[in-house]
Amino acid sequence: MTSFKRILFPVDFSDGSKAIAPFVLSMAQRYHASVIVLHAIQPIPPLYAGMNTVYPEAFDFAGAQEDVKIRLRAFAAAELPKIATDIVVEVGDAAAVIVSTAESRYADLIAMPTHGYGPFRRFLLGSVTAKVLHDSQVPVWTSAHAPESSHRAHPKPRHILTALDLKPESRATLEAAVELAKECGATLEMLHVAPEGEITPDKSETEMREMLAEVAVENAENVEAEGGLDLEVVTDGSNIAKLVRSVATRKRADLVVIGRGVIQSPLGGFKTNAYSIIRESPCPVLSI
């Protein structure tokens, strides 16, 4: 069951942080959730001056933390009105701080932008976001293009697309997507994209539809009854991210839902598919 009662919102005071605040606000209101507003202060390395001479840089971390807390409180008051917030400032590597804070404070969701800049923004994925996606076991909501005027999304999703690979983990992903669609009153598109060569000739599109219907039948009855459940099977999975982008654009999706099965390989390393889907998606991506 999807239940986001504590949302971790890392804020670095960038345009990206401000751009996704309406989405965080909408989710907090929808789930009656509190929001942990977090900022990580990067440790300052020692100052080197001269051969074999090190002059340590003195820095008032305690004072800096208090200053940042004041800024975070002002940010929360302006962007997250009437939401219960917990202001947290930690010193350390940003990705490590986000992952550890999510664990120690029992966050149900991490919401953060990615950081790609310039004309190649959609081809980039910030290192902090990449590390959090890799290391955290908490669902991560990301948006690569929130600051862009062409960004297609709505704080309350109206059209949800879930990309499934039909591995065992796909059931949990589908259940989460179905529940989100029901809670938001959104339509749901189920998309199966298969790596090239995965589908053998004896697995027809009809059989794939039957497999997906079987996974969804217990939880999708209400959505299906309202005509809001659709299915598309793509058997050419040579470029999964572009296929997801194409369908999301055509269906005017507000949210793409993918699972850890799509992201994580049996060896524990990341496939390029998840990063590519997030970079290419015209709307936010929720990684369950």
Q: Is the pTM of this model over 0.75?
A: yes
> Residue 212 above 70 pLDDT?
no
Token pair for 109? 């969701």
* pLDDT tens profile 36-53: 999 999 877 655 555 565
pLDDT band at 5 (very low <50, low <70, confident <90, very high): very high
pLDDT at residue 48, as a whole number: 54
CATH class, range 159-287: alpha beta
Domain boundaries, the chain: 6-143, 159-287
Task: Identify residue 27 by its one-letter amino acid code.
Answer: M
Tell me if 6-143 shares its fold with 159-287: yes
Percent of the chain whose pLDDT exceeds 70: 66
> Residue 84 above 60 pLDDT?
yes
> Residue 165 above 80 pLDDT?
no
pLDDT at residue 186, as a whole number: 86
Helices (H), the chain: 15-31, 61-79, 94-104, 127-135, 170-184, 205-216, 221-225, 240-250, 260-263, 272-280
Which helix (H) or strand (E) element contains residue 47? Answer: strand 47-48
pLDDT band at 108 (very low <50, low <70, confident <90, very high): very high
- Give the 3-state secondary structure of 218-279: CCCHHHHHCCCEEEEEECCCCCHHHHHHHHHHHCCCCEEEECHHHHECCCCCECHHHHHHHH
CA distance linking residue 233 with residue 227, whole number of Å: 18
Superfamily of chain region 6-143 = HUPs (3.40.50.620)
Mean pLDDT across 154-164: 85
